Amino acid sequence: MELLKNLNWRYATKKFDTSKKISNNDLDKLKEAVQLSVSSYGLQLYKILIIKNSEIREQLKPVSWNQSQITDASHLFVFCNYIDASPEAIDAFIKQTAETRNLDLDRLNGYGDFIKSKLAEKSTEDKTSWLKSQTYLALGNLLNACAELKIDACPMEGFEPEAYNKILNLKSQGLNAAVIAPVGYRHKDDHTIGLPKVRKPIEQLFDII
């Protein structure tokens, strides 16, 4: 499997080469890979900001534990979940499904009502957690696509979401910064290059029942 080779090649890059930038062609491929990510009910209740602007990234660095990846990487992906799963968002998804698959909208309204009823059963806390979790599914596709293209990435939770929300004006858009990933190319002086991966043994990680 090429995927296994790619996953063995990748690592959470700690130092990026500031002189190397991702091409527009490769960036388009990364965006399409994220677009094709799975999500619960297919709703994709998130948005991804791809930040190139160096001034904005300088503002974000102090609220990202001053980690150099924020400013040194080619691009910074910020995965934002929607704060709420609104009925309007579900209606829009149902309408898009009908148009994409050339179906009668009336045939799908029952499914839309089902989704709304299941989400209504969740507590506010559970819904918040569920919405944030959706972004990690998309993040996984980004990391795998980066590995295939031999682009480095570093998934990060080491940042202050509320500060990101303020700097990027996310709350006014109904969004919340959930997880981030600088992407670019590893620096030859990154001290973590080539370190053996630390993973649980397969026989410890899996049980076949």
The model's pLDDT over 103-125, given as tens digits with 9 standing for 90+, comes to: 999 999 999 999 999 999 999 99
Dump pLDDT digits (tens) for 136-192.
999 999 999 999 999 999 999 999 999 999 999 999 999 999 999 999 999 999 999
Question: Of all residues in the chain, what percent carry a pLDDT higher than 90?
Answer: 100
Mean pLDDT of 34-56: 98
> What tokens does 18 get?
């500031």
Q: Is residue 180 part of a domain?
A: yes
Q: Supply the pLDDT for residue 62.
A: 98
Q: How many domains does the chain have?
A: 1
Task: Domain of residue 31: give its range.
Answer: 21-84+124-194
Residue 79 sits in a domain of what CATH number?
A: 3.40.109.10
Antiparallel, parallel or unpaired: β 152-153 and 175-184: antiparallel
Q: Does any domain span residue 34? A: yes
Q: Is residue 103 part of a domain?
A: no
pTM: 0.97
Residue 174 counted as domain residue: yes
pLDDT of residue 163: 98
What integer is the mean pLDDT of 50-78? Answer: 98
Q: Is 53 exposed, middle or buried (0-12, 13-18, 19+ CB in 10 A)?
A: exposed
Which segments of the chain does DSSP mark as H helices, in order? Answer: 2-9, 24-35, 54-60, 69-72, 87-100, 105-120, 124-148, 161-167, 202-205
